[in-house]
Amino acid sequence: MRRPTIHIIGAGFAGLSAAWRLSETPGLDIVVHESAAQAGGRRRSIFDEATSLTVDGGAEFVLTTWRATLAFMEGIGARAQWRETSQDGVAFVDMASGERWTTRPGAGGCPFWTLDSRRRPPRTRWRDYWPALRLLRAPPRALLKDYAPSLGPSAERVWRPFALTALNTELDRASARLAGAALREMQFGAARPLAPVHGLTRDFVEPALKALRRRGVAIRLERRLAALDCRGERVATLEFEHDRIDLQPGDAAILATPPRVAAALVPQLSAPTEFNDAIAVHFAISPPSGAPGMLGVVSGAFHWMIGAENRISVVIKNAASLIETPRETLAANLWRDVAALTGLSDATPAWRVVRQRRATFAATPEQDALRPPLDTRWRNLFLAGAYVQNGAPDSLESSVRSGAAAAERARQWVESF
């Protein structure tokens, strides 16, 4: 008897997560099709000859409270390759005033740590944090600015950095509902960031591919899906550039592509139309001894500075105003702030600028409302990706969770035959 086949289109984190979840079910043939020459989607590593560094598309982190991602990492044997960048709170600096502090949230997600002035930013009050509780019940059309202060120290040192980091969206436009979801995932600040030791490809993508292949999952690269042939209530054929695959009645497909690709393939698909950029710049120089592994920057040219053994990386969120800046100019301007913060030489070291165009969908109420459900009008076609509606903002965790949810729905479809 022929085994049912589930085809996954896209080998980004949503597609890999879907394949991993499906590989736990015996009796299925699973095939992953990826248009690029390597898996990982936009979250993958490249080797830069100018700096002799292996760099990721951005400076990616996994939070210790991201259960779906951590379970995936544990399952494929990749958890040991990730390190905590900040074990004793998160260090910050205000470039305008020169003030430095370390935010030390309490363990377990209890917000009572905000009552201790030594654990929160200077000139903020405990009541500046309590809007977070109301955010957990925010309606879909509400804005973050309607709940949190938009002026004063708490806006600049708490809420604006939070909106940019968690949502890649400015405080004034950010969705209150998505902000509440991000706070819930962060357990009110108890989450600690994990960074890959060698990069996302070596420390996540490659272990995932090896684990999937051990389970019999077929990974097919350089296969771009050109069209879906839909008949009645189901997808009948997957039309690739150079061949086609006819789906049998018990087969299914998971479309784990970026939203723009999905919208081109699926008629009348609702999907986000506004996206925000991000920029990461990697400098080939070791951070000075004693420098924090991760530093949040207020009133500076960038939002985060991350130090590793052989590099200093800086990250700019919601970077539309700088995305077209010449790379040489951008690197030189950013290095001036890095040098001022670290005491290193003003001479700019070798660098690599990574522009992340359309890094995330804009986390506004309007764009959140455009996110599609994972089910489509065709009963054997399911959607996966951070843009798919799951109540959470665009993140690696959202991608992994979405892939697992689509896999469960595809499995249920197959088992109905």
pLDDT in tens, 361-413: 999 999 999 999 999 999 999 999 999 999 999 999 999 999 999 999 999 99
Domain-located, residue 169: yes
- Same domain? 97 vs 161: yes
C-alpha triplet 103, 398, 387: angle, nearest 5°:
120
Domain-located, residue 129: yes
As a whole number of angstroms, the distance between CA 87 and CA 311 comes to 19
**What pTM was computed for the model?**
0.94
Query: Is 270's pLDDT higher than 70?
Result: yes
Range of the domain at 124: 90-186
Instruction: Count the Cβ atoms, other than its own, within 10 Å of residue 393.
Output: 24
Q: H/E element holding 225?
A: strand 225-231
Domain end residue (candidates: 159, 186, 213) = 186
- Same domain? 269 vs 383: yes
Query: Is 124's pLDDT higher than 80?
Result: yes
- Same domain? 161 vs 269: no
- Same domain? 108 vs 176: yes
Domain-located, residue 166: yes
If DSSP codes are grouped into helix, strand and coil, which group holds residue 3? Answer: coil
What CATH number did the domain enclosing 384 receive? 3.50.50.60
Q: What is the pLDDT of residues 135-190, one digit of tens each?
A: 989 999 999 999 988 888 999 999 999 999 999 999 999 999 999 999 998 876 67
- Same domain? 165 vs 208: no
Helix spans in 4-66 (H): 13-22
| Residue 349 per-residue DSSP state | -
Counting the structural domains of the chain, the total is 2
